[in-house]
């Protein structure tokens, strides 16, 4: 199998790059510098590496309370779980965001994403429908709060 030198070289390069990228993340994670972690989390989020971003956000959110960076970090944290298809967690963190930052420019979107995450977590019709009922209630609460929302049409599907 490894008689092809190009294959062996390519595999070696991939393994080295993987090891280097993991070690970079681990170094950042072990750091005590919250600003470094915040910048790295934002970078991982922008690069669609949502797992790494969520790990770093989770570590720095308690430190960021009361700081200007906290709002964006909390919002991205919720989305990072949504993009990982962890809808129960994303619903929880979108709801938390809305409760903490109800006057934010992202408040409407967060409340919508709370309802939408619950909807995405709804099971098949032959299973327990409690989460579906929760999603319907959350969607109705959203529509009551933001009746002219641009997200309204996404709830009608």
Check if the beta carbon of residue 139 is closer than 8 Å to that of residue 156. Answer: no
Task: Please write the tens of the pLDDT for every residue from 20-42.
Answer: 666 788 888 888 899 999 999 99
**Sorting pLDDT into bands at 50, 70 and 90, what band is 64?**
very high
Least confident of 66-75, 94-103, 137-146: 137-146
0.85 exceeded by pTM: no
Q: How confident is the model at residue 49, as a pLDDT?
A: 95
123-to-37, 42, 156 alpha-carbon distances in Å: 36, 32, 18
Mean pLDDT of the chain: 86
- 109-141: burial string, b at 16+ Cβ within 10 Å, e else: bbbbbbbbbbbbbbeeeeeeeebbebbbebbee
Residues 6+ away with beta carbon under 8 Å from 90: 78, 79, 81, 82, 113, 117
């Amino acid at each position: 199998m490894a008689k092809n030198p190009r294959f062996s070289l390519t595999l070696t390069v991939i393994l080295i790059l993987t090891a280097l990228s993991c070690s970079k993340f681990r170094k950042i994670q072990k750091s005590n510098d919250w600003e470094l972690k915040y910048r790295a989390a934002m970078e991982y989020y922008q690069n669609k590496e949502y797992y790494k971003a969520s790990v770093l956000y989770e570590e720095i959110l308690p430190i960021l309370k009361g700081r200007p960076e906290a709002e964006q970090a909390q919002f991205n944290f919720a989305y990072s779980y949504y993009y990982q298809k962890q809808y129960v967690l994303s619903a929880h963190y979108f709801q938390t965001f809305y409760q903490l930052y109800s006057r934010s420019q992202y408040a409407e979107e967060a409340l919508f994403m709370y309802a939408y995450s619950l909807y995405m977590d709804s099971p098949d019709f032959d299973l327990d429908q409690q989460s579906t009922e929760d999603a319907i209630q959350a969607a109705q609460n959203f529509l009551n709060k933001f009746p002219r929302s641009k997200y309204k049409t996404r709830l009608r599907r």
